[in-house]
Amino acid sequence: MREETRQWIELDQAHCWHPFTRQGEWCARGHEPLVIARGEGSWLWDSEGRKYLDGNSSIWTNIHGHAHPAINAAIQEQLGKTAHTSFLGFTHPLAAELAARLCRFFPKNTLERVFFSDDGSTAVECALKMAVQYRQQTGEPDRNQFVAFANGYHGDTLGAASLGGVGRFFERFRGTGYPVRHVSSIRDLESLPSEKIAGVIIEPLIQGVNEMRPWPAGMLAELRTWCDENGVHLILDEVMTGFGRTGTMFACQQENVIPDFLCLAKGLTGGYLPLAATLTTGKIYDAFLGAPEKAFYYGHSYTANLLGCAAAIASLDVFESEKTLAHLPEKISRLTTGLASLKSRQPLVHEIRQCGFIAGLELRRPDGEQFPPGERFGESVCLAARDHGLLTRSILDTVVLMLPLSSSIDEIDHAINALDAALS
């Protein structure tokens, strides 16, 4: 190991605290974390010069590849002017353009207002507060509860975490968060007193953190109908599914559903900078006009950050110039056939769950039984895949494969071959 790498690891182990990480193991003697040094296209290099395919798009953020010349240039150009100015009391051309372009993905008079924030959790947090305040200002103050789906994931700030349905992450905070009811299906919703419900939140088409579990086809449209019939707002968390991952720009477009609130983050900047957006309708926005106390008193220091907006606009431009969505069907079908053939060769692949360009491979013992959780089998397969040039993570024993949308057919094949070799 290079001396420099050793020093970085020592400093990290002495001072950093990593997300979702058992720090005792991370800092244990003999654990040598990868130090990522640079990226280009779908590839990442570590500080020792080894090269890996970015198999989880750098935690589900990267869209067009790393160090994309057009996105880099847009950020650099903006950096030459200024990196950040306040969006409180001022505006700037990039936020104005980006907001307009995001709204243009939806029919006129639907989603037409954009509130910027920083990441997936704040995009959700913002939708929750808007939904509650809207009811207070439209004569339904008691309609202040939220419904979320079992095993859903919407972020880690306290409001977003209250919506979370993954017991191992959120149970200990239940008592301190916002009261939320969890349901497993639309049938469960029907038995709830809907007059108290402000909104229902869902990850459309597929739950990500719940080991990549797609919803039944038609479920989202059915949920929209239930919400309409019961005067409940539909909040879509497209933090993971947004920006092409499912094959269309937004997952909701596949069932012709338009939500009352749409939460976007991760891929908004192509995966370059933290920026989020909460889109909502003119009807909801209008309830915040009038008396001063009706305003939405919410915001973050880096709201509508200039570099983030520059990256997001450049990313939308790349969608057009590289015809990203038009190239996806061929890539998605290569992924489907490649994974099916992997499953036929590898008895430990129990199920492939795929939604567009997002895939999860659930691993089980050949007799169909789950591995004992303490074995951390999924994690060990991902570690083995590193030796074959693929970086990804598992969620329990489901290995995630979520490549940048720009990945080539050869790169898709490389990812599948690496998993094959790791499983062998």
Q: Which residue type sits at 260?
A: D
Rounded least distance, CB 266 to ligand PMP, Å = 6
Query: Are 163 and 148 spatial neighbours (Cβ–Cβ below 8 Å)?
Result: yes
The residue whose two tokens read 């007193």 is 193
| Euclidean distance between CA atoms 321 and 237, whole angstroms | 27
Rounded least distance, CB 213 to ligand PMP, Å = 12
Rounded least distance, CB 238 to ligand PMP, Å = 8
Q: Please identify the residue of the shown chain whose CB is closest to the bound ligand PMP.
A: 120
Measured from the CB atom, the residue of 334 and 353 that comes closer to ligand PMP is 353
Rounded least distance, CB 244 to ligand PMP, Å = 15
For 89, residues 6+ apart whose C-beta sits below 8 A from its C-beta are none
What one-character-per-residue DSSP string does 273-342 give? S--EEEEEEHHHHHTT-SSGGGS-----TTTT-HHHHHHHHHHHHHHHHTTHHHHHHHHHHHHHHHHHHH
For the chain, what percentages of helix, strand and coil (3-state, to nearest 5) are there? 45, 20, 40
Rounded least distance, CB 141 to ligand PMP, Å = 27
Rounded least distance, CB 120 to ligand PMP, Å = 2
Measured from the CB atom, the residue of 114 and 239 that comes closer to ligand PMP is 239
Measured from the CB atom, the residue of 165 and 338 that comes closer to ligand PMP is 165
| Euclidean distance between CA atoms 341 and 351, whole angstroms | 12
Measured from the CB atom, the residue of 243 and 422 that comes closer to ligand PMP is 243
| Euclidean distance between CA atoms 357 and 333, whole angstroms | 9
Measured from the CB atom, the residue of 400 and 416 that comes closer to ligand PMP is 400
Rounded least distance, CB 160 to ligand PMP, Å = 7
- From residue 85, alpha-carbon distances to 88, 115, 295, 303, 311 in Å are 9, 16, 22, 9, 16
Measured from the CB atom, the residue of 163 and 363 that comes closer to ligand PMP is 163
Q: Which chain residues interact with ligand PMP by CB under 6 A?
A: 119-121, 124, 153-155, 203, 208-209, 237, 239-240, 265-266
| Tokens representing residue 380 in the block | 């060990």
Measured from the CB atom, the residue of 65 and 120 that comes closer to ligand PMP is 120
The enclosing H or E element of 158 equals helix 158-163
